[in-house]
Chain A
Amino acid sequence: GESVGLHLPTLSVQEGDNSIINCAYSNSASDYFIWYKQESGKGPQFIIDIRSNMDKRQGQRVTVLLNKTVKHLSLQIAATQPGDSAVYFCAENGAGNQFYFGTGTSLTVIP
């Protein structure tokens, strides 16, 4: 059955510091992963992706690290800004091009 009233893990960082958000995925056969950002009242927005043949990919202020051995993803945000405050989800692809989402982490940036 489904659980009601679960709260997302939270992370608070000072403005200007670096943030690291972690995610464990479940399927060792997944070969493509995406990080999403969801601001309050909005749908999820694509941040960065990585394929399983890579262990690191960098974007603008963001870096995704993939450790296939332990099925772990992380999202690093450099010089975190107040506009980065949001919930962050990792997603892994399924066999039929579906995507399955992790629990999510709520990031709060303290000015």
Chain B
Amino acid sequence: SAVISQKPSRDICQRGTSLTIQCQVDSQVTMMFWYRQQPGQSLTLIATANQGSEATYESGFVIDKFPISRPNLTFSTLTVSNMSPEDSSIYLCSVVTGSRSGNTIYFGEGSWLTVV
């Protein structure tokens, strides 16, 4: 397993501002991902954070809105740019590690953002 810490855990943000979320893992992991969970909904994959190269974004998500850094195998950041109320969500950092059955994904506790 992996222990994942996210900061901030919660924040209230002004419309039009940007916020950077940090994710720290207690061990080196190859695969890190960022998810968004809007109120009352399931988790949606934003992007794969690639160490040493640009992130790989899912359909509907773009680098200008959600720039991602991955400077090493234990750390990543997600920035939510030019925020609007529609960006109010939980943002979750996750890592994938191996298990007996296959790869398993673990999550941080999330960063709960409210945009006003």
Contact A4 B104 (CB under 8 A): no
Contact A93 B102 (CB under 8 A): yes
Indicate whether A61 reaches chain B with its CB closer than 8 angstroms.
no
In the complex, identify which listed stretch (A11-19, A43-51, A76-84) lies at the interface while the others stay far away: A43-51
Main secondary structure of the interface of A (DSSP, over half): loop
B101: A residues at CB distance < 8 A: 32, 49-51
Indicate whether B53 reaches chain A with its CB closer than 8 angstroms.
no
Contact A46 B104 (CB under 8 A): yes
Contact A102 B33 (CB under 8 A): no
In the complex, identify which listed stretch (B11-19, B63-71, B75-83, B105-113) lies at the interface while the others stay far away: B105-113
The number of residues on chain B lying at the interface, defined by a beta carbon within 8 Å of a beta carbon of chain A, is: 28
Shortest CB-to-CB span from B40 to chain A, Å, is 5
Shortest CB-to-CB span from A22 to chain B, Å, is 14
In the complex, A42 Cα to B38 Cα: how many Å? 14
Please, which residue of chain A has its CB at the minimum distance from the CB of B31? A97
Shortest CB-to-CB span from B15 to chain A, Å, is 17
In the complex, A34 Cα to B102 Cα: how many Å? 10
A8: B residues at CB distance < 8 A: 40-42
Contact A49 B102 (CB under 8 A): yes
Please, which residue of chain B has its CB at the minimum distance from the CB of A8? B40
0/1 string, B89-116, CB within 8 A of A gives 1: 0001010100101111111111000000
B105: A residues at CB distance < 8 A: 34, 46, 91, 99
Indicate whether B56 reaches chain A with its CB closer than 8 angstroms.
yes
Contact B109 A43 (CB under 8 A): yes
Contact B107 A44 (CB under 8 A): yes
Indicate whether B45 reaches chain A with its CB closer than 8 angstroms.
yes
Indicate whether B43 reaches chain A with its CB closer than 8 angstroms.
yes
Please, which residue of chain B has its CB at the minimum distance from the CB of A3? B41
With A2-B60, A4-B38, A43-B92 given, name 4 new contacts (CB 8 A).
Answer: A32-B101, A32-B103, A34-B105, A101-B44
A-B contact pairs, 6 of them (CB 8 A): A2-B38, A5-B40, A50-B101, A51-B102, A99-B45, A101-B42
